């Protein structure tokens, strides 16, 4: 069986999304989101292909990727943790939570752990100001955080990750 190169697969995936929008500019965001969710980052190659398909300047595609924090051109961890740094959370001891996250993961904000499991980022208000400090783990919100709770959340992520890895391995053996 002939293997299809990764870039060719990506092109086909992008073509599928672009066609749903008649190759119009409105396909830009759906294309970027598709690449982000399937490949966890938007490479230079993907940005160039998108620009070519939609007949727009690559700088415009770059601009959109860097504007939205949920789109990234660099590889990120399996779990992206975003801690709110806006005023209400700041007044509710978000610094203690931040310290716990950094100590537990051994990285600083803006970094990804060496094993590719966790990325630590700041975010602005998540709309849970009266239940702060608040953070997101991927799409899941956690509120009223304490250092102890943070530790439990990370442990839960680690066990989920372990489970997925084991299932993948098992699946691969069949």
Task: Using CB under 6 A, list all residues that contact ligand FES.
Answer: 84, 86-89, 125-129, 132, 134
Nearer to ligand FES, 31 or 134 (CB): 134
Strand order in the sheet with 140-142: 118-123, 79-84, 135-137, 140-142
Strand partners, 112: 119
Least distance (Å) between residue 132 CB and ligand FES = 5
Least distance (Å) between residue 131 CB and ligand FES = 8
Nearer to ligand FES, 23 or 90 (CB): 90
Nearer to ligand FES, 86 or 113 (CB): 86
Least distance (Å) between residue 145 CB and ligand FES = 10
Residue 32, SS3 per DSSP: helix
């Amino acid at each position: 069986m002939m293997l299809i190169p990764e870039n060719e697969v990506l092109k086909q995936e992008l073509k599928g999304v672009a066609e749903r929008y008649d190759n119009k500019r409105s396909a830009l965001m759906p294309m970027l989101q598709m690449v982000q969710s399937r490949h966890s980052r938007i490479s230079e190659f993907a940005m160039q292909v998108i620009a070519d398909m939609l007949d727009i300047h690559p700088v415009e595609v770059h601009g959109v990727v860097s504007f939205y924090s949920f789109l990234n051109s660099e590889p990120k961890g399996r779990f992206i943790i975003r801690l709110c740094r806006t005023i209400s959370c700041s007044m509710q001891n978000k610094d203690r939570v931040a310290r716990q996250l950094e100590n537990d993961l051994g990285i600083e904000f803006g970094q990804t752990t060496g094993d590719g499991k966790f990325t630590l980022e700041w975010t602005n208000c998540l709309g849970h100001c009266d239940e702060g400090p608040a953070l997101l783990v991927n799409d899941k919100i956690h509120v009223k955080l304490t250092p102890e709770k943070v530790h439990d959340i990370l442990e839960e992520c680690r066990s989920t990750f372990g489970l997925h890895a084991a299932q993948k391995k098992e699946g691969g053996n069949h």
